[in-house]
Amino acid sequence: MAISRLQPLFLLLLLRAFGSLPTQAAARGGRDSSDDGDHRSFSRNLLEDKPHITEEMAHGYMSNTELETAIHTFGNRCSNISRIYSIGKSVNDFPLWAIEISDKPRQREAEPAFKFIGNVHGDEPVGREVLMHLADWLCDNYLKDPLATLIVENMHLHILPTMNPDGFALRWRGNANKIDLNRDFPDQFFSVNNDINYRQPETRAIMNWVKQEHFTASASLHGGALVANYPWDGTRDTSKRYYGCPDDKTFRHMASVYSQSHYNMSLSKEFEGGITNGAFWYPIYGGMQDWNYIHGGCFELTLEISDTKWPKAVELSIIWEHNRMSMLNLLASLIKSGVHGRIFAADTGRPIPGSVMIKGIDSKVRASRAFGDYHRIIVPGEKYEVMASMEGFRPKSTHIVLEQEAANLDFILEPDRADGQMKLLYNDDNGCPCGNSKMFHVQEAHLWLYLLVVCVLLTLYLVFKRKGASKLLTYKYSPRRSVAV
């Protein structure tokens, strides 16, 4: 009995070396097709033994240097709606370049943010090319195509064409240290990746990125299958079975938006409707999508967009066309559906970074610090009870019927006078106390404390001369910031 209980733990200790659980790989009938040497990793795509990626196969794909040039060329060509920045560097010191696309790309706004990530695995390069096609299409069609204009003007889209430039250059799955980056994130069930000293720089870059930006949703692009995958990616007992997260229904909806818009994904004979729960298909641990949902409040899909990991370059434009409407409709769904709004403090009228919950769904979506805006993805056509809350305030809830269009719902929360100290976090996203739209920390004391201060001041005034007391009061109690009373 004791031995059987130790087996899952023993398997998990192999995660960093092997990438996933070999027992499930055997169940799928093969091994991952991309790791080199003795470093083998088992993945969801078990279609063929490790192929040798020849120069002929790679011909027509952008090299890392060519991709870097293409990103900066795009930034110059479309500077009115884009910003180019780096989120970090790879093991071999190659910058991880990102593209932000918006009508106000250098400003924070009360709008949803979405990120696309490509080339998580070095031997799955299709995402690199497809994401550059997406960026170019949005630039070329802004103010010409209604869908392009809707996306550019109502959200902030962030595109990271390659998360793993080193693995791409080396023609293998993992990064330069041969670590599968989609097994390198902290896991909810097991602590195998909790030591930050062993975390890869590419992984740390993504984690810091998610903490800095307020992403509503995201997707990573992979190759080797044709399916939209959603959480959870693993199970508590490492078994292969359906294991849904609290927002399972919402994730199924998101995955279906992508699949149904695709040229042939929804016609899959292997995956009903072209979508799948990750743990039901093939459990993994330390995956990026589960970490995003748990720690970033970011609803992430893992999109397998090509049956072949490394298709011929002449097929890339076709793959882009097959995925174009899926990508655009997924982005547009963030704007055209769900519940959106802002949270304000009733006493000051200022936005506050509260949280929003849907009754019956055990997950919270936090509002941004800068604007108090939240963006909650939920399935349209149903009734919901929406509740906003924040420490130091009385929670407030309301019922809505979400039709096919998005619902706008603001909350004004009353301070909870019975709560010892009320914290109004008037901070920007970097924690810097600033003016106006930026926020600063304020602590409101009880009314008796203010009365006590008044009594002390009155006593000082009576004890000292009027002039001396006046100077003292001016020096010690000159207002330096707004205080919510």
Q: Hey, how many other C-beta atoms are within 10 angstroms of the C-beta on 45? A: 23
Of 195, 125, 111, 214, nearest in space to 161 by CA: 125
Which pLDDT belongs to residue 34?
A: 36
* pLDDT tens, per residue, the chain with 485 residues: 433 333 444 444 444 444 443 333 322 222 233 333 333 333 454 334 456 788 888 999 999 999 999 999 999 999 999 999 999 999 999 999 999 999 999 999 999 999 999 999 999 999 999 999 999 999 999 999 999 999 999 999 999 999 999 999 999 999 999 999 999 999 999 998 999 899 999 999 999 999 999 999 999 999 999 999 999 999 999 999 999 999 999 999 999 999 999 999 999 999 999 999 999 999 999 999 999 999 999 999 999 999 999 999 999 999 999 999 999 999 999 999 999 999 999 999 999 999 999 999 999 999 999 999 999 999 999 999 999 999 999 999 999 999 999 999 999 999 997 654 444 444 444 433 333 333 333 333 444 455 565 556 666 655 454 443 333 223 232 322 222 22
> Any residues with CB less than 8 A from the CB of 448 and at least 6 apart, and which?
none
pTM of the model: 0.80
Helices (H) and strands (E) in the chain, counts: 15, 18
User: Is there a contact between 179 and 170 (Cβ–Cβ < 8 Å)?
Assistant: no
Which pLDDT belongs to residue 460?
A: 63
Which pLDDT belongs to residue 211?
A: 95
Instruction: Measure the CA–CA gap between 137 and 128, rounded to whole angstroms.
Output: 15
Q: Hey, how many other C-beta atoms are within 10 angstroms of the C-beta on 67? A: 24
Structure tokens at 119: 């080339």
Residue whose tokens read 């070396």: 17
Of 52, 49, 82, 85, nearest in space to 68 by CA: 85
Residue whose tokens read 């092997």: 18
Which pLDDT belongs to residue 38?
A: 32
| CA–CA distances in Å: residue 429 to residues 432, 434, 482 | 8, 11, 19
Which pLDDT belongs to residue 439?
A: 37
Which pLDDT belongs to residue 192?
A: 85
Give me the residues paired with residue 342 across strands: 373
Which pLDDT belongs to residue 449?
A: 58
Q: Which residues are catalytic?
A: 304
Q: How many CA atoms lie within 13 A of 201 on its CB side?
A: 17
Which pLDDT belongs to residue 428?
A: 44
Instruction: Measure the CA–CA gap between 255 and 303, rounded to whole angstroms.
Output: 9
What is the DSSP pairing of strand 299-306 with strand 225-230?
A: antiparallel
Amino acid at 427: N
Residue whose tokens read 């991709």: 67
Which pLDDT belongs to residue 206?
A: 98
Which pLDDT belongs to residue 29?
A: 28
Q: Hey, how many other C-beta atoms are within 10 angstroms of the C-beta on 83? A: 18
Omega cis (within 30) before 448: no
Give me the residues paired with residue 413 across strands: 345
Of 151, 155, 174, nearest in space to 92 by CA: 174
Which pLDDT belongs to residue 454?
A: 54
